[in-house]
Structure 1
Amino acid sequence: MNLNVTNEEKWKFSPIPNIEESNFNKILERFYNMGIKGLTRENAQNSLDGRLPGNENPVILTIETGSIKKANIPGINEVIERIKCLEGRNGYTKETIQHMVNKINQEEVRYISFEDSNTRGLTGARNGQSGSKKDTWGIYAYSKGVHFEEEDSSLETSRGGSHGVGKIASNAASDLHLMYFANCDENGDKHLGGTVQLIEHLYKGHCYRSTGYFTDIKLEGNKSKFYPYENNFDQVFEKNTRGLKIIIPYFREEYDNEREIIRSICDSFFLSILEGKLKVIVNEKEVTNDTILNYIKDPEYYVQDITEAKKVFTPLYVDTYLNETPEVIKVSDGVEDYHFNLYFYYDEQIPKGRVAIVRTIGMKIEDFKIEGKATKPFNAVLIGSSAEDKYLKLLENESHTKLSPDDIKDPNQKKRAKKFMSNLSREISKVIEEAIKKNNPTDGQMNTADILYVLETQFKKDLSDTLGTVMINDGNKPLVKTSSDVPIKEKRERKDSKQGSKKNPGPSKKKRDPLKRQKSRDSDKHTEKQEQLSTIYSAHPDMVERLIVGNKEMVKFDFTKSEHIKNDTYCNISLAVIDGMGVEYPNEFNIQDNYNHIIDLNSGGNCPYSQNVINNVQITQGVAQLELNLKESLNKSLKFVYYVEV
């Protein structure tokens, strides 16, 4: 291939006939949105993957942030000249290019580097762009979407990477999408490479691809071939011991936070560190199996109040792993059974239940939510062995942050994966339900007849207050009883008062409706009545009465003071969990997991429901009343905010 470049140019871009693609690589934005956590995760995982076989010492990852003079960045002026030629064709690319242009005039720039030790580094650098699977330099330096595969299948299974796209995480962390990598191999050979991710562009009269490579080039017959530069550059780019070093100049300001770097390492690799597989040094601060608890227990790094563990669960995971005895759970995909160690901890103070799914390499994949149990007070860590690791690797997304069958192409494998995910939730749910029963024992039988009688009588009285007539079935003779609680005279007075208000309106102060209108949202349409429902209001606490006695929960909604609802005959009612700070969690409560059935006391029939919505609730004279039969698993201390759809 003819690259239309001279050997004096440090950066090489492949020529193309014309520009066809005017967008930046979409993976850049994906990793950019993951922030510093995605960057540290990818590079720490790569270092663990490169560990020396048979070496019992931990992989050492040294992370350093600092400043470097622009003049000391190899080939930077060539990159800047290319950036000046970029032409955006849409709003996103124009904005990104302008951001790059705004950064190129700095004489001193920030950088971050990731240097590993007790690792193999890249092999075959002297062979350049060889195409051989054994030459990992050529795969890492010049290939997209390709990762090196170990000849030892057990080593390959334990590796964190598999998609070959994580390399671009380093480009995403640079304002110029620029990164370098310095390598020292087992022979002591030292080389420097790099990549920059731009868009297809016109430069000096020729069109070029978006990706540039910091590399030398040599003609061999009629073909040209990439070879790396020997590393004789600035000390920031030096790598003098075996292993790999990533250098990212023009380090994004929003990433440049030492505390967040340490937190992200602890969040994703707490198990590797606790087991002595990984040691991380961040600007001379060491995170090891001896020191990690100093950071986990430090309020400057993590909130220590267990009741505030709603998004970050690392302190809970560490305590659970260190203090609990694991139990083995079996999860099937319909064909094969997989066995995991589950470290489980139950505490009524925990506001959110999550499971850390961890690979044997020691990297946490995600904070897994168990279906219908996201608000249960538990914490867990799930770890498998080699076979389980291989299966989890199949389910991982490209950034290794989530298990999902969505990207599996084979329909049979996809079906099995979905079954596995469903069974995983089911098996852990059993453990959660058992813990709930164990921690909420029944202290003997309780005679609730008198309590229920008083409660039922009170509700009947409330019902009578709101009904003009009640149909009673006495054997085979239907009788109509007119309520005597509302005298005819009083009805006339109400009518007269309405007429009088029309004749003599006078000055009046408009009362605030106790319902607050919400944005409309989609809901399941089961009946014609539901299809007519379109407006959603949040109910003020003053209009809701809630009482739990035994295994029954009574809820009464008084809409008589609301101009919006009092004349409606049906509504849907949805529940959203709310914590002590007033924070709402609209999608984390499932009715089916917490109630056996729901009775509409106005109609006497069962109410249909789906997820967190109770459908077709009858409103009689502005009042709706429900009786909910509780499951033992319901956390009775939960507080709700109610939404009414009419």
Structure 2
Amino acid sequence: MNLQKLKDKKWKFSPIPNIEESNFNKSLERFFNMRVNGLTRENIQNSLDGRLYNYDGPVVIKIKTGSINKNDIPGIEEVKERIMNLEGRNSYTIETINHMKNKLNQDEVRYISFEDINTRGLTGACNGQSGSKQDTWGIYAYNKGVHFQDNDEVEVSRGGSHGVGKIASNAASDLNVMYFANCDEKGDQHLGGTVQLIEHVHEKQAYRSTGYFTDIEVYHDNSSKFYPYENNFHEVFQKDTRGLKIIIPYFRAEYDDEKDIIKSICDSFFVSILNNKLEVHVNEHKIKKDTILDYVKNQDYYNQDITDTKKEFTPLYLDTYLEAPSQKITVSNGEEDYNFHLYFRYDERIPKGRVAVVRTIGMKIEDFKVTGNATKPFNAVLIGGHKEDAYLKSLENESHTKLSKDHFSDSKLKRLATRFINNLSKEIKGVIEEAIKQNNPTDGSMNTDDILYVVETQFRKDLEESLGTVKINKGKSLVKSTGKQSKRERRDKREKKGKEIKYEKDFPKRKRDPLKWQKSNDEINNTNGQEKKRYSAHPEMVERVILNNKEMIKFDFSKSDQLGESKTCDISFSLIDGRGVEYKNEFKIQNNYQDIIDVNVGKTCDYRKNVIKGVQIKDGVAQLQLKIRKTYNRSLKFVYYVEV
């Protein structure tokens, strides 16, 4: 194509001989699946990386959403022309292209912008596509998969490393288009942009998939060089203070939710915000050190029921980080040791255990699952130092959302990464197990007095039968009895036993039934209209043991005359405290047990509120096996009621 004709276009695509690649950039789909969380993470992380040197205050980021007339979007008509010429060659690209074409006829277009303050911005915009490592504009604007390094110490603490994060902004646009406005330390203002399409033919010429919103300088030898446009465009695209501003038109409806944007900021950057390293304004909302709790502790944003925390852990992380003491743990990859601060909290109410792995810039990498402990009741925040940050950075996947070994091609590095991740689980597992021991002393102890008495009595009887008795004769010497009694001894024993029987008949002991009938106001009506009688169970007839995640309860009704010929009964629970005060209707079965098995028949029992229905009685005994929830308080004491 004639280079002079190319110069007349606002968007520049590189010409190629033929189309060889017919797919969209795979990173687009990856970031699209991450939705607004991936968008905010990448852009806020980039702003934190660009913090002014020797500045201790917060980086301020202003996020705005709104609408703009399509005619105010620079060069958008050229992007539309390219999209109309796209041809899909598989179902995914055809579907994507059709979606893009359906969005072209909007007059008012939704947009989102990210503007940072107290940052360095990009340098060397006036030098254009220089190729110099000192000109960050050229690297950011024209190089894919590359990020800029200018300071070793700063580089270690950076959030980014793979150089693909810029494409997260393209993925947030229905047309895969984004712009960036820059104001450098000299006050020079420029505007650039990129669009991610597929390789395509336009005006009988094949082009690469990526287009750049940029000017071009054509030289006499037919060589060329990109230069940015001076920023004289619509106010939405203006940036007049030092720093960078990202503008994304045709903002996807799936992303366009103010509440989700605010939550994604709190989820990923709560440590930065709490440490006053970051302040984010979302339209009229300000999320900063003094206000973050107003959002995280707000039921409109996060579920505040700790027992239902299964996917969103940010409220727990904030409490843990602010209130829990930290302890040092050391994790090795087999060659080096890495030291971390672990803020750890154990709480039986927590249903899912997660560890927030956080970089020193304050960005959470992931909700780390400790192997074999994902359902343990704990919450933790893990933060290292300078050395640890460098290693964690090397382990991050390209979207900075997970510690992984998969991106390493070197077998040794992959092996070390695997060992580190496994050892991280191992070290935290030890902390969890110690917390469980401290918070769950041995329960389900049994009184063995009766067992020992029976064993001792039986042993004495067996010993007497096998050895006989030992007597002392008149000469005081010990002689062994043959074990047989004389006629006189047998007669005396019969007479003594007869007197004991007569005495018991004259003064019979009162038998106490282990089931005590409750007054009529405690009786309930059966479904067929018949009254059910309700009895309280004496503690002696109940055996209760808790083992791991199961509770076993045995009811021995064999000494009771109250149940008659009943084959089933209903059993209810009532809490009782250490003073013997009963709290009726306080205990909820569904909140404490996952499953209830009738041991006699091996079937699951139904229940209503705190009453277990239709428990089978076999040989005077009813037995239950209950699977307890993680939130169950093992120290609870109960009064049990039986209804027949």
Same fold (TM over 0.5): yes
1:304 to partner: Cα distance: 0.5
CA distance in 2, matches of 1:20, 1:550: 64
Q: Is the 8 A contact 2:348 2:630 kept in 1?
A: no
Do residues 430 (structure 1) and 430 (structure 2) align?
yes
Q: Secondary structure at the match of 1:255?
A: coil
In structure 2, relative to structure 1, the CA distance for the partners of 1:448 and 1:89 (3 Å cut) is farther
The amino acid that maps onto 2:425 is S
1:254 to partner: Cα distance: 1.1
CA distance in 1, matches of 2:390, 2:302: 32
1:102 to partner: Cα distance: 0.5
Aligned counterpart, 1:307: 307
1:225 to partner: Cα distance: 0.4
The amino acid that maps onto 1:426 is K
Could you report, residue by residue, the CA deviation over 1:431-456 in whole angstroms, capped at 9, with x for unpaired residues?
000000000113796446979999xx
Q: Is the 8 A contact 1:448 1:550 kept in 2?
A: no
Do residues 382 (structure 1) and 362 (structure 2) align?
no
Aligned counterpart, 1:504: none
Aligned counterpart, 2:112: 112
Q: How does 1:144-159 map to 2 (within 5 A)?
A: 144-150=144-150, 152-159=151-158
Do residues 416 (structure 1) and 416 (structure 2) align?
yes
Q: How does 1:111-510 map to 2 (within 5 A)?
A: 111-150=111-150, 152-220=151-219, 221-442=221-442, 446-447=446-447
Q: Is the 8 A contact 1:122 1:183 kept in 2?
A: yes
In structure 2, relative to structure 1, the CA distance for the partners of 1:553 and 1:263 (3 Å cut) is closer
The amino acid that maps onto 1:182 is A
CA distance in 2, matches of 1:552, 1:224: 71
1:2 to partner: Cα distance: 6.4
CA distance in 2, matches of 1:450, 1:168: 74
CA distance in 1, matches of 2:318, 2:419: 29
Aligned counterpart, 1:625: none
Q: Is the 8 A contact 1:160 1:361 kept in 2?
A: yes
CA distance in 1, matches of 2:148, 2:551: 62
Aligned counterpart, 1:21: 21
Q: How does 1:84-95 map to 2 (within 5 A)?
A: 84-95=84-95
CA distance in 1, matches of 2:277, 2:451: 60
Q: Is the 8 A contact 2:405 2:414 kept in 1?
A: yes
The amino acid that maps onto 1:107 is D
Q: Is the 8 A contact 1:3 1:14 kept in 2?
A: no
TM-score by length of 2: 0.71
Q: Secondary structure at the match of 1:254?
A: coil
Q: Secondary structure at the match of 2:294?
A: helix
CA distance in 2, matches of 1:580, 1:9: 67
1:582 to partner: Cα distance: 12
Q: Is the 8 A contact 2:3 2:222 kept in 1?
A: no
Q: Is the 8 A contact 2:343 2:381 kept in 1?
A: yes
CA distance in 2, matches of 1:5, 1:325: 66
Q: Secondary structure at the match of 2:331?
A: strand
The amino acid that maps onto 1:89 is R
Q: Is the 8 A contact 1:83 1:100 kept in 2?
A: yes
Could you report, residue by residue, the CA deviation over 1:529-585 in whole angstroms, capped at 9, with x for unpaired residues?
xxxxxxxxxxxxxxxxxx955579699xxxxxxxxxxxxxxxxxxxxxxx958999x
Q: Is the 8 A contact 2:347 2:378 kept in 1?
A: yes
CA distance in 1, matches of 2:193, 2:410: 36
Aligned counterpart, 2:40: 40
Aligned counterpart, 1:533: none
Could you report, residue by residue, the CA deviation over 1:444-489 in whole angstroms, capped at 9, with x for unpaired residues?
96446979999xxxxxxxxxxxxxxxxxxxxxxxxxxxxxxxxxxx
The amino acid that maps onto 1:137 is W
1:153 to partner: Cα distance: 1.2
Aligned counterpart, 1:571: none
Could you report, residue by residue, the CA deviation over 1:50-82 in whole angstroms, capped at 9, with x for unpaired residues?
000101121000000000000000000000011
The amino acid that maps onto 2:37 is K
1:415 to partner: Cα distance: 1.1
Could you report, residue by residue, the CA deviation over 1:604-640 in whole angstroms, capped at 9, with x for unpaired residues?
xxxxxxxxxxxxxxxxxxxxxxxx9x9xx999889xx
The amino acid that maps onto 2:27 is I
Q: Is the 8 A contact 2:356 2:366 kept in 1?
A: yes
Aligned counterpart, 2:581: none
The amino acid that maps onto 2:185 is E
1:365 to partner: Cα distance: 0.2
In structure 2, relative to structure 1, the CA distance for the partners of 1:223 and 1:349 (3 Å cut) is same
Could you report, residue by residue, the CA deviation over 1:511-537 in whole angstroms, capped at 9, with x for unpaired residues?
xxxxxxxxxxxxxxxxxxxxxxxxxxx
Q: Secondary structure at the match of 2:241?
A: coil
CA distance in 2, matches of 1:278, 1:378: 28
CA distance in 2, matches of 1:37, 1:141: 23
Aligned counterpart, 1:543: none
The amino acid that maps onto 1:131 is G
1:6 to partner: Cα distance: 3.2
The amino acid that maps onto 2:152 is S
Aligned counterpart, 2:509: none
Aligned counterpart, 1:8: 8
Q: Which runs of 5+ in 1 are unaligned?
A: 455-546, 556-578, 585-627, 639-646
In structure 2, relative to structure 1, the CA distance for the partners of 1:449 and 1:421 (3 Å cut) is farther
1:284 to partner: Cα distance: 2.0
Q: Is the 8 A contact 1:184 1:240 kept in 2?
A: yes
In structure 2, relative to structure 1, the CA distance for the partners of 1:452 and 1:306 (3 Å cut) is farther
CA distance in 2, matches of 1:83, 1:583: 57
CA distance in 2, matches of 1:9, 1:551: 71
CA distance in 2, matches of 1:554, 1:308: 22
1:228 to partner: Cα distance: 0.2
Could you report, residue by residue, the CA deviation over 1:198-233 in whole angstroms, capped at 9, with x for unpaired residues?
011110010001000000001234410000000000
In structure 2, relative to structure 1, the CA distance for the partners of 1:583 and 1:119 (3 Å cut) is farther
Q: Secondary structure at the match of 2:254?
A: helix
In structure 2, relative to structure 1, the CA distance for the partners of 1:264 and 1:432 (3 Å cut) is same
In structure 2, relative to structure 1, the CA distance for the partners of 1:170 and 1:444 (3 Å cut) is closer
The amino acid that maps onto 2:236 is V
The amino acid that maps onto 2:393 is K
CA distance in 2, matches of 1:122, 1:230: 14
Q: Secondary structure at the match of 2:441?
A: coil
The amino acid that maps onto 1:244 is L
Q: Is the 8 A contact 1:3 1:15 kept in 2?
A: no
Could you report, residue by residue, the CA deviation over 1:225-281 in whole angstroms, capped at 9, with x for unpaired residues?
000000000000000000000000000011100000000000000000000000000
CA distance in 1, matches of 2:367, 2:91: 35
CA distance in 2, matches of 1:70, 1:443: 69
- CA RMSD in angstroms, aligned pairs only: 2.9
Q: Secondary structure at the match of 1:218?
A: strand
Q: Which runs of 5+ in 2 are unaligned?
A: 455-543, 553-588, 595-624, 635-644
CA distance in 2, matches of 1:316, 1:195: 39
TM-score by length of 1: 0.71
